[in-house]
Structure 1
Amino acid sequence: MHGEGASSVAADEVVAQIKAAGGNAMANYANVCNTDDVLGPVMEEYGKLDILINNAGILRDRSFLRISDDDWQAIMDVHLTASFKLSQKAFEVMKAQKYGRIINTSSSSGIYGNFGQANYAAAKMGLVGLTNTLAIEGRKNNVLCNAVAPQALSRMTENIFPADLHEMLGPQFVAPLTLYLCHEDCNETGGVFETGGGYSSKLRFQSTKGALFATKASYPTVEDVAAKFDEICNFDDEPEAVESIHEATMRIMNAISEMPDAPEAAGDDPDADIQPNKAKAWKSDIVNWEYTHKDVILYNLGVGASPMKDNCELRFIYENHDEFQPLPSFAIVPAFKAIAELGETPGLKVNLANILHGEQYIKLHKPFDADGAKLSTTAKVGDILDKGKHLVYSTDYESRDEDGELVCTNQFVTFVRNQGGFGGTNQQETIVEPIDAPDREPDHTFEESVPLGQAALYRLSGDPNPLHLDPDFAQMAGFKVPILHGMCTYGYAVRHIQNQYPETPISAIKGRFSSPVLPGDTLVTKMWKDGEKVLFEVWNKESNVKAISGGFVEFGFEESEKSSGSSESSRALLTDKLFAEMSDKVDASSVNKVKGIFKFEIMEDGKLAKSWVVDLKNGEGSVSESDGKADCTIIVSDSDFAAIAAGELDAQKAFFGGQMKIKGNVMLSQKLGTLLK
């Protein structure tokens, strides 16, 4: 039982029985740990090896704290290491001859555990893992491997089972299953079988339905697990057998794809200053505003346009100029008019003294009528972010013309000091992200001093905050003198960029306000061309700090911005419509959820037919037929990708089946689901 005996009687008896039945057999008295001594004589005598049964075993039973290093190692050497070495040598022969059967003798002690057998149980369960892997690697060469956990009488177990059961637990009641698994007609592989007393059953791993305890908003906590633990352990609700590592991985990937963006919102405290649900449910009244060319000129003058700087600036301040036009940042004016009329937002009772204008995003959907028009503006709240001590929220303004067509949108991102900690989410969904400038010299730089009276002129376009004009008010707010409007600095930068790129109208602007500017300071606008965007920063020359950071502008309007499918010169594919639909779905919300760039290499007849780049990392996102750098590259045929989008082909099965290849950040591809629905 301890493997220390040297009796050859049992082996000799078996050989005699086989020969008496007309077979051929030879006894081998070698230690199973000596691989060559065990298998060498077999290959010399028979020249082949069809079946290997790893059945040798010893016991070193001790309670856990009494197991010595020798007790542990002896069990591992005989049960697990010897089985590994013998199987490896046999596998080489079997693979070459395209046939083989390997049986590993496991034990219920390994499968379920048993007191006093920690060493034995570990080795026997190790054999189950070895069996599973050999089954995978051997299948294509007809080398099959299974594990048997017998309840049988042996020299090791004769003192364990009651004497009256010895006959029914003899090896005669176990051998038939083992022999069948070794037969050439049996195609079973990777199975684990319990057997004894003429009874056999196949075991499998079964999983509960499980529970998702995380969200994309933050890392999960121990408390999150505790809240879901009963559900994690519940086998009563749709348990499932898991038969491969691929199935196990797919279950995790499916769970990730279904992960919510944020925890389910709790109900608002009706007495709280910050009530996110109430604020987000609010939709403003319509604020109507009619402007004329004088309002256009006044705004443009307010952000520094002047006939004394360059003849081209006449187009911003002279209504009879052939190209008279408002600067793109004129879009802020109808939003200012709405702010003045709408007043406090329900559910957002904030201390106005603690408010800072953090970021601004403007999107133009069509050109302004420079001569004037009537606009109707509505507002709603986007993100409400709990930053711990502080609060950040966004307000979105839409301005439409008399035909109801969307002219422009504004997104104000407001920072409120000391009003966080209300139990809200920190998951950003709608706020358009700034883009940091690259670490290289700018492509263009424009420098301009701000006149001392510029704030007095700018405020006439709708931002009358006394902070920018009244010295006493400025001092109460902590400034020695009145500061320039952040949106005035913003307008200066837009004018500089539009002058640098005069041929294409700006259609989107984003900027983060980093530090105040004083009237009389010198602004330095730095510009970097980055694909179809221009990234920018505004520096204060006197203080040598950034006034605006993370800025970017986009050019052209929606007709030219987003791809509508394949070009006339390229062959139409099934997926052209799919990418056109993707383009319509892409927005700031999808960018905030995904934060990645994808390249799709669409194949046809084994060759690259088209390459698409889906940018869900920058600005409001974009879809274009191009070949650029990406975080994740997906290579798939036109027909297969169309089938995936239509729900006719499972994306994960296509991936695991080799129909779709993914390079780079594979897990990022799980976030594409919403664009394909």
Structure 2
Amino acid sequence: MSKELRFDDKVVIITGAGGGLGREYALMFGARGARVVVNDLGGGAHGGGQSSAAADKVVEEIRTLGGVAVANYDSVENGASIVQTAVESFGTVDILVNNAGILRDSSFQKMTMDDWDLIMRVHLRGSMSVTHAAWAIMREKGYGRIIMTTSAAGLYGNFGQANYSAAKLGLLGLAKTLAVEGAAKNIHVNTIAPIAASRLTETVLPQEVLNGLKPEYVSPLVGWLCHENCEENNGLFEVGAGIINQLRWQRTKGVGFRLSSPINIEDVAAKWDQVGDFTNSDFPTAVADSMVTAMDNINNPKLGGNQFLDLDKAKTSKPVMIENGYDERDLSLYALGVGVGADPLNVKDLQYLYERGDNFYALPTYGVIPALNGFMKLLMDGKELPGFGNVLDRVLHGEQYTEIKRPLPPHAQLRHEAKLRTAYDKGENAISIIDVHTFDESGEELAYNEITFFLRGCGGWGGDRGPSADINVPPDRQPDAIVEERIGDNQGLLYRLSGDWNPLHIDPEFAKNFGFERPILHGLCTYGYVGRHVIQSFLGNDPRRFKSIKVRFAKSVYPGETLVTRMWKESETRILLETRVKERDEIVIKNAVVELYEQIPTAKTAVKAGVAADAVTPQSTGADIFQAIGAYFVQNPAEVAAANTVFQFNLKNPDASWTVDAKLGKVAPGAADKPDVTLTVDEEQFIGMCVGGEDAQKLFFAGKLKIAGNMMAAAKLEFLKKMDPKLVEAEVAKRLVGGAQASTAAATVSQPVGPTGADIFQAIGV
């Protein structure tokens, strides 16, 4: 059995101690060596009458058990007199249990102002009065334990107890503030919501339940919370019938609205399910926590969106992974789809069609096909691209950018990372930009695509309208090259075999329903034609220096029409172009540019295990920084000792605790025994504060940097201003190479130049 926890020489005041819970508390403290002030007015459960008998009887019981106790008969509204009894009898007060209370139950409709005021005076004002009188004594001696008594009615509400519920919840608010104010003086304030048989519960609980509730099932919790060994502060507990539960506030992730545009009732209604979704909730514990989401909304303005597009979700989400591949057959089929082979005797076309020829090349514009096919399959399978809703029936391809990192191989297995980068609000409509990075089997990036969709009826959230000026505008002179090419009548039938199965491009009835006289050609089919025209005109039909192409789809093209692509050589590596349909003299491709490589790019050599450490970009860890602080301690004992403070850092993701003891001049992993100040932050953000890129003050006000204990002590970290950042570099190098030379280098650095890590803490101190 563990050693008995006693209260020898501690002075305890218990209000309402003439019976029920209060009497049980008084007997418990008296039996364990405390000197007890038994306060009880001796009135009835509804506040009437007065008698000394109840308090006297409990005092006599304590004395019979060998304890020390005195009686006090004042109302709790006269708290100074109750505390004075403790001071005159025992010289001080160490523990206060605010237990006194009465009931004036009535439905709110029938409740009188007297019913309301009396409950407030006894419960809320009374507890405040006794606590206020004891507060100065506890602060002076640097010790105190206080219990406030709330109830389930106060926490949850209860019919017929509007006055009682309001007072009891008010006590919880009082306790929480006193817990914050008293913490530095070792005054702990906790709140209990007891369930026990007493005169106050007789009117709200049936007798069979009362028979199962005993006050002695509550008193052990009160005893522990009031013991000097207990570090609990600012807690809230339900207790009774052998059960003890701790309660805390819970907050949903909620919804953040754009501050740059009006918020209306309909906006709230549309997001109401999300407001009440506790799936990803947190548990605020302080006023600073209550400001976290508000400050985040101010410091990180919401991008907005609607049921079709959620830009904030897209911003915080990781890319979606998609896998597929292609082979020589796919490349040949694509080439046929974009007009290659129209003349079977043109031997130059064989380089895109004949995989066994001397040279077999992929058309660079094929780089969009695996990415787009994978993305569209993702949506058609009902899977989600975060932030991009169900808009398949609203999508038109508006613009396309494809960049080829090196010539596409004849076949490859691919991994695509797709993400909604941004969207623009065009009023009734919207424009979205999807980023897709494509990697080959080795992990090397092979291609990058920006897929820009025009989304009909998906705008109107008040967001950024995006750029409006034309770009890549051709110069006012004759083009350097012109290619004219007729599109085959069956070209759409061929191209769709590369993956775009939209019936708009094959079904006459479907096309008419969309307002077209007949099926239209795929925009990316025209895209492929245009890419070929540049290769033919400026690369001598060798596609390997083709780097990128960006176009805007201005109007639709029909199979059988003639494309006229005009091209202007802006530099050796940059070609501007536009494409018209000859028969209608309408621009169908505009704001277009192709960029070329100066030399044919090759595959990069992957970094393999065993390379020299100096070939790797060093990355700091939290441990590196603390090791560097430890090295600084060794070199500068006088400056460190002047701080005379024990700091504890709790790093998250991954979790780790470090103690920086400026009293003993030591830095060590693990939590401190009794830190003066504790700082909690994600490791990545901590490193950012120390080596640049993170603002400590913004992190603090956003709730991402939390400080407990003596907040002003955080300013004493200013001594780190003189720490040489080379210490951190040395620790990184030592970890990477495991060599003693790096350690020696760390010990010999001597020229302070201003830290990495300390501007950190000046802001915190402010």
Bin the TM-score by the shorter chain. Answer: 0.3 to 0.5
- TM (norm. structure 1) is 0.43
